[in-house]
């Protein structure tokens, strides 16, 4: 797929990458973190998912295809460490520990403090109820009326999802973006490609096959 800009009601603009394959949420999340950290620097920001997959394979010493194998948290952290965006670590812990690490790393800002420009994103490994998992990126946490909300950049539907954080754990609900809370542009996405000197618009609709719900149990963060 490609890159999309999404906006939330907090006035933040989020770069979201739509994953290219069914099992490539991990590499897509890596690409998003690199872009979010390097967008204001001279370092390379927008890297292709294919390159991330190649670096991951090198770091893990494997040629496993993401179509049939998911990515490990340690492998994604090692890949980020090869992409000139700081030092990254992976922790697998209790839901409470993951939330604490996420809040401490990303930071919390008031909903009325204005747009956030510089961020410290994290990748969360969400374990679905019933099996399987998914990688997403959280790049901002806002506080509004005594509650905290994480902005989740999900590569599956290339959109943002604002969801409340429970101090006992972060329960991510994969569902269609809501106009009243998440960014506009819900499920229909457009991207422009220059091919043979002709600018072509392509469209694709993203919908969750079965809306999932899971608990964040893995976190990959800049240390």
Residues contacting residue 100 through CB under 8 Å, at least 6 positions apart: none
Q: Does 87 have pLDDT greater than 90?
A: yes
| CA distances to 147, 174, 219 from 49, in Å | 35, 22, 20
Instruction: Return d(Cα 47, Cα 192) in angstroms, integer.
Output: 17
> Which residue is listed with tokens 């690490």?
101
Query: Residue 61 — left, alpha, or beta (φ > 0 → left; ψ -120 to 50 → alpha)?
Result: left
Q: Supply the pTM of this predicted model.
A: 0.84
Which CATH number does 3-222 carry? 3.90.70
Q: Which pair of tokens denotes residue 107?
A: 């930071």
Q: Are 155 and 6 in contact (CB under 8 A)?
A: no
- Residue scoring higher pLDDT (187 or 108): 108
pLDDT tens-digit readout, 140-174: 999 998 999 999 999 988 889 999 998 889 999 88
pLDDT of residue 200: 45
Q: Which pair of tokens denotes residue 207?
A: 């919908």
For residue 207, which of 162, 176, 163, 172 has the smallest C-alpha distance?
Answer: 176
pLDDT of residue 178: 67
Q: Are 208 and 156 in contact (CB under 8 A)?
A: yes
Domain segments of the chain as ranges: 3-222
pLDDT of residue 201: 42
């Amino acid at each position: 797929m490609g890159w999309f800009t999404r906006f939330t009601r907090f006035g933040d603009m989020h770069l979201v990458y739509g994953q290219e394959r069914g099992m490539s949420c991990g590499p897509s999340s890596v690409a998003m973190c690199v872009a979010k950290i390097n967008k204001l620097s001279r370092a390379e920001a927008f890297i292709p998912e294919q390159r991330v997959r190649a670096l991951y394979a090198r770091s893990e010493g494997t040629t496993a295809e993401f179509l049939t194998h998911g990515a490990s948290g340690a492998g994604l952290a090692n890949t980020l460490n090869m992409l000139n965006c700081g030092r990254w670590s992976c922790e697998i812990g209790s839901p409470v520990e993951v939330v604490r690490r996420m809040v401490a790393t990303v930071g919390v800002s008031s909903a009325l403090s204005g747009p956030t420009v510089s961020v410290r994103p994290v990748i969360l490994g969400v374990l679905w109820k019933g099996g399987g998992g998914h990688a997403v990126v959280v790049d901002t946490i806002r506080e509004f009326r005594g509650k905290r909300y994480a902005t989740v950049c999900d590569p599956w539907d290339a959109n943002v999802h604002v969801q409340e954080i429970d101090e006992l754990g972060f329960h991510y609900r994969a569902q269609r973006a809501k106009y009243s809370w998440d960014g506009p542009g819900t499920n229909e996405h457009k991207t422009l490609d220059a091919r043979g000197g002709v600018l072509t618009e392509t469209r694709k609709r993203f919908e969750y096959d079965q809306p999932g719900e899971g608990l964040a149990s893995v976190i990959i963060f800049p240390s």
